[in-house]
């Protein structure tokens, strides 16, 4: 066996949670994504969305949160490799932030598709 031994499942899971906790503690947008995701799930529960809509909403929320975690990891690596400002380091961070933006736009579009008809129906009751 080589010098490096892969950690067991429990240790790997602990490291993954540590990474998520770091992202939660250091990234204000992660808090926004989590709170927004919880609000969306509460709306979905209240409006009794279909199973397919549940899966789609959960997938969209997971994509946004996952993108934020990837963005954080890329920012950490860029800062490690290039602690001083460098235009390419800045560009790498901008592109990583773009991942989050694209997934957030996708999630908003999904939310509009799922919730807008219900919102129109609710408003039409009061008109």
Q: Which residues are catalytic?
A: 68
Token pair for residue 112? 């509009």
Helix (H) or strand (E) holding 47: none
Which among 76, 127, 75, 77 has a CA at the least distance from the CA of 99? 75
Cβ contact 56:63 at 8 Å: no
Cβ contact 108:61 at 8 Å: no
> How far apart are the C-alpha atoms of 102 and 81, rounded to whole Å?
26
> How far apart are the C-alpha atoms of 65 and 71, rounded to whole Å?
10
């Amino acid at each position: 066996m080589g010098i490096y031994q892969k950690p067991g499942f429990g240790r790997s899971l602990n490291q993954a949670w540590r990474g998520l906790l770091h992202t939660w503690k250091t990234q204000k947008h992660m808090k926004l994504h989590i709170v927004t995701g919880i609000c969306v799930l509460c709306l979905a529960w209240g409006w009794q969305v279909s199973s397919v809509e549940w899966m789609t909403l959960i997938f969209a929320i997971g994509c946004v949160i996952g993108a934020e975690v990837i963005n954080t990891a890329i920012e950490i690596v860029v800062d490690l490799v290039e602690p001083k400002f460098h235009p390419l380091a800045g560009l790498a961070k901008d592109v990583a932030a773009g991942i989050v933006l694209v997934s957030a736009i996708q999630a908003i579009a999904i939310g509009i598709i799922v919730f807008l008809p219900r919102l129109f129906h609710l408003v039409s009751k009061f008109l």
